[in-house]
A and B are shown apart, each in its own frame.
Chain A
Amino acid sequence: MSGAGAREAVFPTRQVLGQMKSKLKGAQTGHDLLKRKSEALTKRFREITRRIDEAKRKMGRVMQIAAFSLAEVTYAVGGGNILYQIQESAKQARFRVRTKQENVSGVFLPAFESFTTEGNNDFGLTGLGKGGQQVQRCRETYARAVETLVELASLQTAFVILDEVIKVVNRRVNAIEHVIIPKTENTIKYINSELDELDREEFYRLKKVSNKKERDAAAADVEREAQKKKDDSSDEDNVDEEGRMQTKDLLGDQDNEDVIF
């Protein structure tokens, strides 16, 4: 047991060690990739922040001009009735927005795109008697203002989404870096130590066995030596015996040596 942190509950076997090693490798690759993704997203995030800043400043200017052009309309027409009429005569959206998706390192950011439908001029005749030009121009100015707003909206959405995604990615990076990798490493260490332990035990056992075997072998040798010696000493007898073998006692009772007197 390595006391240096958590490890996974596994049986310390060689197979699991292999698995753990590949897991560690995977975790490291994943960590690298996620780190790179996070960096890319952060870069994008900064860019968007900068663009939001620009867009907001632009919006301030544009809205001011637009509000002023409305003041011009009021001046030219000389009353508030025109506003109501314009509200009433607008039936269809001329200025529309559609979304498309943009892929930034695997994150889908919605991007709003504004477009004006052609031939949709609902209040073309408003202010025919007086102020018509102002109304038209005011509309153009406001169309520009809304364009800026749409741009800003798509940037803000991207901003929020990216912020979320960056948080998630960073959490993953940190989790891999600080939890998964150490845990896996600990497990590997643990398995290694256990395996070493087993190895040592095995080695000891083998040693014991071989010792025993050696001893046995030695004993056997000694015995064999002794046997050999014995055999050697009875070599002369052997010749006899050979001769005797030819004249083997047919009765088969060799043990009964001939009693020679």
Chain B
Amino acid sequence: MEGMLYNVNNGYIEGIVRGYRNSLLTSQAYSNLTQCETIDGVEERAIRHLNIALTAHRCQATARPSLRRLPGSPAPNPSTSALANKLTEKLVSEFRYLQANATGSLAKFMEYLTYGYMIDNVALLITGTLHERDTRELLERCHPLGWFETMPVLCVATNIEELYNSVLIETPLAPYFKGSLSHQDLDELNIEIVRNTLYKNYLEDFYNWVNTHPDVRGTPTAEVMSEVLEFEADRRSINITLNSFGTELSKADRKKLYPSFGRLHPEGTLMLSRADDVEGVRIAVEGVSDYKTFFDQTGLNQGGGSAVGNMSGGTGGEGKSLEDMFYQKECEISKLAFTRQFTHAVVYAWVKLREQEIRNITWIAECIAQNQKERIGNYISVF
């Protein structure tokens, strides 16, 4: 049924997204990138590869040059962050294009996609307001995908109470604030907790939406998105647990940050909330074979937590870290989403893959800029 009528409203978008997906860098392209000697080289090759990939989709050919360095840009050697900014800009413009063409449930779906970025932006603005910074300056730092109409209004607020009472309730994020946070909570100590609470509420809401909305319920979208969101929820739970070791975050507070769904829910999250160390986390996730494999591969059960993070820092260690594993898994799920037809999930998958691509290119550029070629192969490529 949904296969028959999906294209009436959303066929164009899906087609475009699939086109975008084909323009993602392949491992071949990545290995070419790693051969570059300068950032300029990376840039040139990135443009070339992206252009080659894009020849089939002419609608993009005009947008890609935004990647190219701005004419008259003063820096002869472009910084990696400028490169990343350009790539993000590109992603945003494509996303905006899709959003402009989306209707009905897809439009709502895409709005949901932006909420995650909005949460980051709001957290940023709250931090700025708490320190009485010029909020206008902060707006420039906000992620463009998380831009919402009333966001500049946040600048008006000068103190937290005002921000909460008059401004935040106007934002799309208001439901996530409601009930779980009051303005007393918005003091600086727990801005990270605020952010994670919001994110938890957002994930739950999104999950709820894909499983209950009449247009989406029971479609491949619901299936794929449930899997993706469950994974996201689990990843957050595990990360929060791992990152909270050694901080003043109490177990009860930590428990509140776990989303109430996902493959780890409820037994796993309960065990996670009781975990005191990496070993405890490992035991908690043992019920889910995927995560168990991750832990086994990263060697966390022996390493005692020294290699938890990405790339295991400057301390060496060639094996992939847990966070790498999660990113890898996310990319694989996203890749698989493209095997389904007539689903909104491809948009989500595409955004995630593009983000990963941006991070990969930035990483490669960074490695080249800092002459650290030995770790250059640490990017994640699924195509």
Q: Which residues of A contact B (CB under 8 A)?
A: 64-69, 71-72, 74-76, 78-81, 84-85, 88-89, 121, 124-134, 137-138, 141
Tell me the complex Cα distance, A134–B312, Å: 8
Interface string of B243-287 (1 = CB under 8 A from A): 110111100000001000000000000000000000000000000
Interface size on B, residues (CB 8 A): 53
Tell me the complex Cα distance, A67–B366, Å: 10
Tell me the complex Cα distance, A78–B240, Å: 17
Q: Are B243 and A75 in contact (CB under 8 A)?
A: no
Assess whether B72 is interfacial by the CB under 8 Å rule. no
Known pairs A81-B120, A81-B141, A124-B247; A72 contacts B240 (CB<8 A): no
Name A129's contact: one of B196, B358, B362, B370 (CB within 8 Å): B196
- The prevalent SS among residues of B at the interface is helix
Name A121's contact: one of B127, B191, B247 (CB within 8 Å): B247
Number of A-B contacts (CB under 8 A): 128
Q: Scan residues 297-318 of chain B and give those whose CB is less than 8 A from a CB of chain A.
A: 308-311, 313-315
Nearest Cβ on chain B to A108's Cβ, whole angstroms: 37
Name B309's contact: one of A76, A78, A125 (CB within 8 Å): A76
- The prevalent SS among residues of A at the interface is helix
Assess whether B49 is interfacial by the CB under 8 Å rule. no
Q: Are B192 and A128 in contact (CB under 8 A)?
A: yes
Known pairs A81-B120, A81-B124, A84-B124; A131 contacts B314 (CB<8 A): no
Assess whether B195 is interfacial by the CB under 8 Å rule. yes
Measured CB to CB, the nearest residue on chain B to A64 is: B370
Measured CB to CB, the nearest residue on chain A to B121 is: A81
Tell me the complex Cα distance, A125–B242, Å: 11
Interface string of B133-176 (1 = CB under 8 A from A): 10000100111000000000000000000000000000000000
Q: Are A71 and B310 in contact (CB under 8 A)?
A: no
Task: Please name 9 further chain A to chain B contacts, defined as beta carbons within 8 Å, in addition to the given A81-B141, A84-B138, sorted by A numbering.
Answer: A68-B372, A72-B310, A81-B143, A125-B243, A127-B192, A128-B244, A129-B239, A129-B243, A134-B323
Chain A contacts for B124, CB-based, 8 A: 81, 84-85
Q: Which residues of B contact A (CB under 8 A)?
A: 80-81, 84, 120, 123-124, 127-128, 130-131, 133, 138, 141-143, 188, 190-193, 195-196, 199, 235-236, 239-240, 242-244, 246-249, 257, 308-311, 313-315, 323, 355, 358-359, 362-363, 366-367, 370-372
Q: Are B249 and A125 in contact (CB under 8 A)?
A: yes
Chain A contacts for B359, CB-based, 8 A: 75, 78
10 contacts between A and B (CB under 8 A): A69-B313, A72-B311, A78-B355, A125-B190, A128-B244, A129-B195, A129-B199, A134-B309, A137-B309, A137-B314
Tell me the complex Cα distance, A165–B247, Å: 49
Q: Are B127 and A85 in contact (CB under 8 A)?
A: yes
Q: Are B128 and A88 in contact (CB under 8 A)?
A: yes
Most buried by A among B128, B239, B308, B314: B314
Chain B contacts for A130, CB-based, 8 A: 235-236, 239, 323
Tell me the complex Cα distance, A245–B196, Å: 155
Measured CB to CB, the nearest residue on chain A to B199 is: A129
Name B143's contact: one of A72, A79, A133 (CB within 8 Å): A79
Q: Are A133 and B308 in contact (CB under 8 A)?
A: yes
Q: Are A80 and B81 in contact (CB under 8 A)?
A: yes
Chain B contacts for A88, CB-based, 8 A: 127-128, 130-131, 133
Measured CB to CB, the nearest residue on chain A to B190 is: A125
Tell me the complex Cα distance, A128–B244, Å: 7
Q: Are B242 and A133 in contact (CB under 8 A)?
A: yes
Q: Are B323 and A76 in contact (CB under 8 A)?
A: yes
Chain A contacts for B120, CB-based, 8 A: 79, 81
Chain B contacts for A81, CB-based, 8 A: 120, 124, 141-143
Chain B contacts for A121, CB-based, 8 A: 247-248
